[in-house]
């Protein structure tokens, strides 16, 4: 499918992923092309987020590998050179946290000696569930 082989192994080991669904295969196929934009509508629990996270990470890893192997950058130069790779907008805080957790876990498991996970960032706006609940109960 074009996903990083170490990430695929990490998905199997950490999350029991066995085989991608047809929707996931089509999603990955579209996303691994550079500069693609996409809107996806599928039911909750169909694996959209997992496919998107794996695709985004695979693209970033491919770019990192290109910088180090083909262009001769050191690991630290490659990290400093790579800028914003992807902006992923999600509808709620919980999904943003889930995506960050999955990406960090997959990267740490697939590449334990590389500091990839520290380059993940999450920006969240609005109130958290607890703050909103406290305000409503007052």
Predicted pLDDT at 88 = 78
Residue in 13, 43, 8, 12 with CA at minimum distance from that of residue 28: 8
Q: 7 or 137: which carries more pLDDT confidence? A: 7
Domain boundaries, the chain: 5-137
H-run or E-run covering 44 = none
Calpha distance 2→8 (Å, rounded): 10
Write the pLDDT tens digit of every residue in 1-39: 688 999 889 999 998 887 888 888 888 888 877 666 777
Q: What helix, strand, coil percent values describe the chain, rounded to 5?
A: 60, 0, 40
Write the pLDDT tens digit of every residue in 49-81: 888 888 888 888 888 888 889 999 887 788 777
């Amino acid at each position: 499918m074009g996903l990083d082989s170490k990430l695929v192994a990490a998905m199997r080991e950490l999350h029991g992923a066995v085989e991608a669904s047809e929707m996931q295969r089509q999603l990955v196929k579209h996303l691994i092309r550079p500069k693609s934009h996409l809107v996806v509508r599928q039911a909750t629990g169909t694996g959209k987020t997992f496919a998107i996270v794996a695709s985004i990470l695979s693209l970033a890893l491919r770019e990192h590998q290109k910088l180090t192997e083909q262009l001769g950058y050191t690991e630290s130069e490659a990290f400093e050179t790579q800028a914003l790779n992807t902006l992923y907008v999600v509808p709620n805080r919980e999904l943003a946290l889930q995506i960050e957790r999955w990406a960090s876990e997959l990267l740490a498991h697939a590449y334990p000696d590389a500091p990839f996970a520290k380059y993940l960032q999450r920006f969240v706006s609005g109130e958290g569930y607890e703050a909103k609940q406290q305000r409503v109960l007052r």
